[in-house]
Structure formats: C-alpha cells, structure tokens
Structure 1
Amino acid sequence: MIDVYICEDDVKQLEQIQTIVRRYLMIEKLDMRIAMATADPQAILAEADNQHQRLYLLDIELGTPMNGIELAQKLRQVDVNCKIVFITTHAEMLTLTFKYQLEVLDFIIKDEPEALQARLIQILNLAQTRLTSSQHHQAAYVQFKVGEQVRSVRADEVLFIESAQVPHKLIVHMANAQFEYYGTIKQAATLNKNFYRCHKSIVVNQTCITVINKRLHQLTVSNGETIDCSVAASRALAKLVRVSKM
C-alpha cells in the first residue's frame, strides 16, 4: 500500500487535488490511499518514517514558517525512498530542487489548471510503478537516522542492535564496524523480518546466529561475539533457527 500525503494551504486547491486523486484511485483500484491532506507541514512531518511507501504532493508556499522546500528536505532526511512532487505557482523555484538535491519526481505548475488532472494521473501511475519495482530492493535494507543523515545498511550485515549507556541511544553492530543512533529497542525489532528481540536491551539478526547456548542464556553471532538472551527467547529461537545448540 502506497500512502499519499498532500500539503496545500489553499483550501479550494487542496480539495481539488484530493478529489482528482481519490477519484482516480477508486476507478483504477490502485494499491494507494490518501493518508493525509492538510495545510500544516508539521502534521505531515510528524507522520514521516521509513517503514512505508509514500508519495508526497507538496505546495511550496504554505503560509507557514516552514515552506514546501524545507518540508521536502526534512522528509528526505527521514525517508530516502519516498517520492516527492511539487504543485506550485512558483516555476522559478524549480532550480532549488536541484540545489538541495531533493530528487523530485515531478514539478507541476498550478497556472495550467486544465493540465492538472492529467499530470496528477501520470504521477500516480509513475509513483505506483517506481515504488512497487523498488519494494524488493528496499526490503533488503534498513535505515538509521544518524545525526542529520539517514544511513542505509544491508539488513544481512547487521549482527545485532543493543542499548547504549546513553538513554534512548542504540548501537548497531556489524561484522567490521559499529555506529550509534537514537531510537528504541522496541522499534529496532520492527526494522526487518529477521530481527528478533532476544533480550530486553538486545535485538539480534536471526540469520547471523551460529550458536544458541540455552544453558548460559547466550547467543553467538557470525563474527564470534556472544550476546545475552532471555530464557524465553532462547527457547523460541531454538525452534526458529537451525544452528548448533548447547
């Protein structure tokens, strides 16, 4: 399912865009839905994550301290794979999308209302094709927000994630590297289907487990490191993972 987010400060234009999108999705039965239509960029930003496929239709002048360009920058920091389209009267702003490397899918000028419906339909079809074709590729990667940057890592390169001593900070362990980011263990366990919360402060990649020691309540991962594992988790993993058991 692809979620469509619309941010437009003109009430009539917001309704017009919603109507065109909703009607086309209903007729064509595309696997898409309007998740939000609002004039508030903060509301859009509050919903942003990297766990869903998303298309953003943004005005540039929003009548708020945050304009559409700034909103797109913040969205791109959270979700490098989202698709962004600007719908605006400001054709001169097109160059800014290149300056800030926003990788915009399209730029629709409002001064051409007769072409708006046709362009939106083209965008919906293009977004469906692009996001669907990249779905398998995205599933093989996990994303972490490290400072102001989003770091994409192959899921099979993550051995385990553990809580750091600093509150709300996690450490990602890979075979030959590690890095820290802010998040929660609960959320880390949802990043990939192979990630399993084996301890209150540890999420392990099931595909990297080499030994399950039920006596010591420990797991050994592919680089030889051992990590703690709860009694319940060691029993569950013993059924899920075909590795040496002690």
Structure 2
Amino acid sequence: MTELFICEDNPAIAKQITAHAANVIEENKLNFTIKLTTSNPTTLLNIVNSSKEPGVYFLDIDLGSNVMDGIELAQKIRELDPRGFIIFITSDTEKFQHTFKYKIEALDYIVKQDTDNLEQRLLECLTTILSRNPKNNEQSLFSIKDGTRIITEKYSNILFFEVSSKVHKIKMHSLTKQAEFYGSLKDVETELLKHNFFRCHQSYLINLTNVKEVDVKNRFVYMINGQKCEVSYRALTELKKMMKKA
C-alpha cells in the first residue's frame, strides 16, 4: 500500500483532512494507508528518510514551524523521495504558484477554506496518483469524470457496462456498486480492451475475468454474481474462442 503523510500545523484542519482522506480511501477501496499526521516537519522527514517506497505528502504551505516552512519541507522531501507525490494545503492559491520556481513538482493543491469540495479534491489527487502508478491490474482503477464527480472502480471488480435507458448515458455494474455516467460504450470499450473486456453486444461490454458461464443456445453470458448480458450472433463465436483461452 502507498503511504500517506499529512503535515499541517492547525490541529482542526489536520484532523479534518485525515478524516476525509480515510473516508475517501475506505469508500473507494483505494490502495493507500495513512501513515502519519503531524505538525512537526522533522518527525516527517525522519520517517521519509527510512522509507523505501514513494509516498504521498499533503503539506501545509504556510507551516507555522520555527524549523522550516512548507516549501522548505517539500524541497527536503523531494531530495529524499524523488518519486513521491506532493500536494500543498493552502489558504492562498497565489502562494502555490510561487512553488514552481523551486522545482518541487507538486501534483496539486487543496484550498483549506473549500471544505465542501475537500473529499472530491482528495479523491481527484489519489486517483491521479493511482493512474500514474498502476502496479498491476488488480490495483488499477477505471476512473471517469462526470460533471462535478469522479466515478472510480477497480477493473477486477467491474462486471459489465451497458447502455442506459437514459439518453447518452452508460451504466456500470460492479461487485461493489452501480453508477451511471455520460459517455459512449465505444469510448469505454477502446479504453478497456487491454484490461480483458469484450463487446458481446451493441448494448453490453463485459469483463471476461468475471464471466461465470456462456449460454450458447440462448445467447446469454452469466457473470459471477448471477447477472446476465445478451450476446449477439456476431460476437458469440469470438466470445467462445476467448473463453477457451481464459
């Protein structure tokens, strides 16, 4: 699991970010764990110095420490963890712009006052990190932005996508949830072919990994949870071949 570190000198904000991050990780089954929440930059650096894997760091840019501020802390973290991800926490977005001259390569920033969108911003940051560092298909995520929300799910949990009864919408069925979003099945198919998905019908895109049975006579495919999808005549022959290879 990728470790998360939070360094914020305001106890209330630190508690809030930690709680929201934990909630985002739990709700979306993300492969992260919160390792440390602290106001002490030295404590954080000591742990980073002994860590072997890239981490994720949420740093207060205005860290009220007599040791170092958030930018100095980020520079030291970058020296110790060049492949880690840094996200600044700030009350002033203009200060984030100044970080570019220090070549810290921060991933993003989160505005302290924007509490209504805090979980959404945390989710955006974490899903971006996962998309850049997929260790394997089991941990990789399908992620799509739909208006103001981001829908995510592990590829391994997805059962199938189908054309929704609502115009221009696609419905995702997984082992943990159902979700609808604007898009076309063709676009989803293009993205997911490399993850063992198959277009069995003009209205269905199935995850071959989660197929339980193919009813050749009636042209249905049954998923591991019992749901079924229709199979077209044209796709049936190819589906049988692919299932034999699986």
| Other-structure match for 1:94 | 96
What is the TM-score when the length of structure 1 is the normalising length?
0.52
Deviations 1:168-221 (A, max 9, x none): xxxxxxxxxxxxxxxxxxxxxxxxxxxxxxxxxxxxxxxxxxxxxxxxxxxxxx
Secondary structure at the counterpart of residue 133 of structure 2: helix
Counterparts of residues 12-161 of structure 1 (less than 5 Å): 12-49=12-49, 51-65=52-66, 66-132=68-134
Q: Residues 18-54 of structure 1: CA distance to partner in whole angstroms, max 9, x if unpaired?
A: 1111112122222110000011111111111462121
Question: How much does 1:130 deviate?
Answer: 1.8
Q: Deviations over 1:83-137 (max 9, x none)?
A: 0000110222122221001111101122322121210111111122223369xxx
Question: Which residue identity lines up with residue 37 of structure 1 in the other structure?
Answer: T
Counterpart mapping for 1:184-223 below 5 A: none
Unpaired runs of 5+ residues, structure 1, are 135-246
Question: Could you tell me which amino acid in structure 1 is paired with residue 44 of structure 2?
Answer: I
Question: Is residue 59–residue 68 contact of structure 1 (8 Å, CA) maintained in 2?
Answer: yes
Residue 104 of structure 2 aligns to a residue in which SS? Answer: coil
Higher alpha-carbon deviation: 45-54 or 67-76: 45-54
Answer whether contact 2:41 2:73 (CA < 8 A) is retained.
yes
The 3-state SS of whatever aligns with 2:55 is: strand
1:64 aligned counterpart, secondary structure = coil
SS at match of 2:134: helix
The one-letter code of the counterpart of 2:21 is V
Structure 1's consecutive aligned runs of 4 or more residues displaced over 6 angstroms after TM superposition are: none
Report the RMSD for the aligned CA atoms in angstroms.
Answer: 1.6
Preserved CA contact (<8 Å) 1:25 1:32 = yes
The answer to whether the 8 Å contact 2:7/2:44 transfers is yes
User: What is the TM-score of this pair, normalised by structure 2?
Assistant: 0.52
* 1:23 counterpart letter in structure 2: N
